[in-house]
Chain A
């Protein structure tokens, strides 16, 4: 994960997004043990309280689970992983379509671009 925090949203929510992406993409494997809050905080360059808040939120959403003594692990439930994967994809998709609509491309055009692998712009 690369931590370049945006200016306009709380840091904890950006950490949550980062973790979700890692879990959805498989970068963090199901059942993988997470480092301690303090280590993660130092690694992300944030306050341990902020990291704690993000992890609690992830726990609440069922993406990580805590074991009383040994720490936190990435969820092993495939449903949860699949759900977050879909959630992220749909978020990106609506952002993308909104953007293309603004440029004046309709649904058909967009599908066309995707099918042909054509890139209106050089960047990914």
Chain B
């Protein structure tokens, strides 16, 4: 059933974003030509200004992709579960957890796709063939220096970065879902309460993060120090990875709490008009 839910979730959310992706990629090609034009020829001031403005617009579009992602995610959740459509969605013979997971998975995929599209767009706009190779090479050298020439450490670190990144994106989605589910349990001012609870939940999450990091900050140093003393490799990447693991763990706990809040509110406090 999860597969079918995901299929229809894509069908419902795929109406705006692909178009936006196409616009961003088209703009990136245009920006590239604009840059080449600016470098090669002496252009009139007005035209220069226009090209600069266009590049500003491109930067805005890069951000807009994420904003639209979030807007689509929020409005889909609200309409499909908490509005009139909720009467159908909530009476489908599927588990509530499958419904929530389908939404998380599809939202995460859109956000990751947005990141990839933005990355590609930036590459198209700003990197020449030689500069791509050169900068990738530089990056590699830099990472190798950091990891003390140990490629495995770097690859593990990269995998960890991706995993922690994905968990963080899940936490971001669930922050919205939990806030909407709590807010829409109220008889009046559903959207007002949703916004309020979004800030309550995200503030609670950051406060927890600050406290945990403050407490663990000391011991992180100790852990790496001990590793160094025991003859392990003391390097920037190891320390970074431990910090990242803490962030990942926090995001995981945060996601679990937000997921539970979403589930319990949809289950027990559902308040369709």
A–B touch (CB < 8 A): the answer is: no
Q: Spell out A's residues near B (CB within 8 Å).
A: none
